[in-house]
Each structure stands twice: as structure tokens, then as C-alpha cells.
Structure 1
Amino acid sequence: MKIERTDDRGTIDRRVARTRALLQDALIALIPERGYASITVEDICQKANIGRSTFYTHYTGKDELRSATLEAHLHSLSRRVSADEKTGNRLFEFSLPMFEHARAFRSLHHALLSSSGDTIHDQLRERIRRAVRTELTPKRIGDTGVPIEFAVQFISGAFLAVLAWWIAEQSRLSPTQIDDFFQKMAAQGVGLLGISSSDIKPARR
């Protein structure tokens, strides 16, 4: 279970990038097995086959590694959104790549989404709120009277709840199908752009 990365040699030493990648991938692999709270630095080092002194050369502790890992993990999804063709009236470009990635790495996302009260869960929720906030603007809300921050909390909460349900229940709905439902409900929920659910174009995958 590895994070999809681009070539970092232009911005970081290759050996440094490789070591950090090994540590991040080790943490990603351990989370579904044990849960973040019970993982130790020693566990991570053993999984990555890296010495403790090398670990502390790159990170002050597992919390800093966690932040770097989740940021790299979600940044890989952001790059996919940027590279993908835009889909017309679709409201949130982050959602389909996230659903697709969650299906591919079901055990990881199940662990992340079920760890309520864990800092890694909180960081994931905040990252989703940031993604929603980026795509919501007063122009898109229009004259609905819905405050931007209310819409951010409403949409991000709904997305995470649906994602957690879909992963936990191992629903037979495909990523495209579950995303189409999410897009339609999101449009109805806050009346974005004054469009109805029938105006939302299905994802092309």
C-alpha cells in the first residue's frame, strides 16, 4: 500500500525522498492493521527497515510523520483532480478521485474514517473541508442566503458520512455511481448555482 508520488528529485535529494517515502508507506500499511494510536516509532522503523536514528533525522516523532504522510496522500489525490478533465456542471472535483482511491485502498480509508477522536481522523476531515471551501465561493452560492461556512460544514460532513458508510458496508455501488448520488444531493442541499440535480452531468470514467 503506497502513496502515488511524482518525481521529487527536482526539489529534494533522492535519498531523502526515498527514506521519507519508505517511512510514510510503512505508516500507511500499519494503520489498517493496528490503528494509529497503538503504532510506535519502533513499529514504523521495523516495517520500513530503517534505523531509529535515521527516522529522527527526518521526523521529530510519529505525529510529524503522520502529518507529512496524510498531506502526501491527499496531495496525490489533488494532483489527480488537476490532471483530470473537468466535468461541466459537476460541483466538487475532489469527490470522484477520493471515492476511487477509497475503493482501491478500502482498508486504509476504513481505518481512517472509523478512528473517531483520533488526530489523524481530524486532519482528514479538515483537509476535506479545505477542499470544499476552495470550490465554494459567494458567486457559486448565489442568492440562496446560505452562509459559505455553513455550506462547507454541511457538504464536507455529508461527504465523509457517505464515504464512511460506503466503505464500511462494502456497497456494490461503483465510485462513479456513489459520486453521482453525492453530486445530486449536494446540489439539492444548498441550491448551488440555482441548478437542480437533473442538471448535474454524470462522471465520465
Structure 2
Amino acid sequence: MSTNEALRAPARTGSADPRAARVRDQLRRAAFDLIEERRVERISVSDITQRAGVSRQVFYQHFRDRDDAVAQAVAASFRELAPDAEAEDPRAVIHRLCDFAARHADLYRNLYPSAASQQTANAYRDLLHPACLRLVEHLPEPSTLADFVLGGIIEVVRLPAEGPDTPATTESLRRRVDACLDVFGGSRRTFT
């Protein structure tokens, strides 16, 4: 890590201090709300700090830059959807992510393409991969198939969000994803 990167690295990312956690949550909420309103490139650090009611100095104690704040805000929302994703029915986890995508279609449109979109996609993959692996663990080459299913889910959810015609609904996204999952026998399996 270069000296500049070290100086810009957030100091309180892992802080257990409840005040720091509260401020970090305020900043994430502000970034999340702004990304639902407009494209990432039209959001500034000042916009986030004004919405959160904190200074720029405080912002930089928690995030490297705007894209870091946006990516962490969306990733935190994903984690809230499935705090114990590895222990529950994988289809339920996938359905909740479909519901989230339908409710936050503007967020998806405003996020892509931006520097924050790759970090966000990685967080989405990290959450979904265990569920996909559990869906195909009974088949040959489960790791490869899990990657394939994961990529398919991402595309099935992403494409309607990017289309200008009709917004995706929870039902339409679930139906699209379920049609794909049924091919792998995921709907007939019982998970514990």
C-alpha cells in the first residue's frame, strides 16, 4: 500500500465504538438514499455528508471516497437481507435478493456503470455463492455449476433493471429465477 493509500484508508471501518458505528450507518444510509435518486457520477462526498449531517473529515474516517461509501452502503443492505444465508433455504435467500432488486430498480440503474458497481457485484456474489452451491451440491462439478447459476441469477435480475420499458416486479424476477433454478432440481430439494 502506498503512503497516499495508507493516508486515505478509513480509520474506523472496523471500530467497535458505538458512536463510530452510528455515524458509519448514517453515512451509508445517506449514500444509499442518494444512489436511489441519481446516478453515482452525480453524487459527491459533499452530498453524502450533507445528507448524513456530518463533516467531510468524519466521512474520510470511515470511507476512502464516494465509491467506497456507495459500495459499502449497498453491500450492507445485501447482508441485512440474509444475515445467515449459509444456514437457510437457498431459494429463500435468492428470492429476497430478487425482492430487493425489484424494490430498488432505480438503485441498479444509477449504480451501473460506476467504479462502485464492481465492489457491489462482488458483495452480491459473496452473499449468493453459498446459496447457489447448496442448490447444485447434488450434481457433478458443484463448484463450477454454482458459479454458472450465480452468473445466471445476476443476469436475470440485472437485465430487467436496465431495461427502459417495464420495471421488474418481485413476481417477475422470482418467476424468471425460478425457471432457471428448476432446471437444476432446486425446487424439489428440501434444505435443512
Q: Report the CA distance between 1:153 and its aligned residue.
A: 3.8
Alpha-carbon distance in 2 for matches of 1:123, 1:104 = 20
RMSD (Å) for aligned C-alpha atoms: 3.2
- Choose which of 123, 131, 143 in structure 2 pairs with 1:148: 143
- 1:80-119 equivalence runs, <5 A: 81=85, 86=89, 92-112=91-111, 115-116=112-113, 118-119=114-115
CA contact (8 A) 2:129 2:150 kept: no
Unaligned runs of 5+ in 1: 1-10
1:159 matched to 2:156: no
Aligned residue for 1:7? none
Aligned residue for 1:125? 121
CA contact (8 A) 2:135 2:186 kept: no
Q: Report the CA distance between 1:27 and its aligned residue.
A: 0.9
TM-score normalised according to structure 2 size: 0.70
Question: Which AA in structure 2 matches 1:72?
Answer: A
**Paired residue total:** 172
Aligned residue for 1:6? none
TM-score normalised according to structure 1 size: 0.67
CA contact (8 A) 1:128 1:156 kept: no
Distance 1:175-1:200 versus aligned 2 partners, 3 A rule: farther
Question: Which AA in structure 2 matches 1:97?
Answer: R
- Choose which of 12, 35, 46 in structure 2 pairs with 1:42: 46
Aligned residue for 1:21? 25
Unaligned runs of 5+ in 2: 1-14
Distance 1:156-1:119 versus aligned 2 partners, 3 A rule: farther
Alpha-carbon distance in 2 for matches of 1:196, 1:71 = 26
- 1:184-203 equivalence runs, <5 A: 184-188=179-183, 192=184, 195=185, 199=188
CA contact (8 A) 2:36 2:104 kept: no
| Identity value in percent | 22
Q: Report the CA distance between 1:161 and its aligned residue.
A: 2.2
CA contact (8 A) 2:78 2:127 kept: no
- Choose which of 171, 177, 183 in structure 1 pairs with 2:178: 183
Distance 1:200-1:166 versus aligned 2 partners, 3 A rule: farther
Instruction: Give CA deviations for 1:81-105 in whole Å, capped at 9, x if unaligned.
Output: 579x74xxxx544211112222333
Instruction: Give CA deviations for 1:102-149 in whole Å, capped at 9, x if unaligned.
Output: 23333223323xx13x23222232233333432316971423xx5623
Question: Which AA in structure 2 matches 1:182?
Answer: V
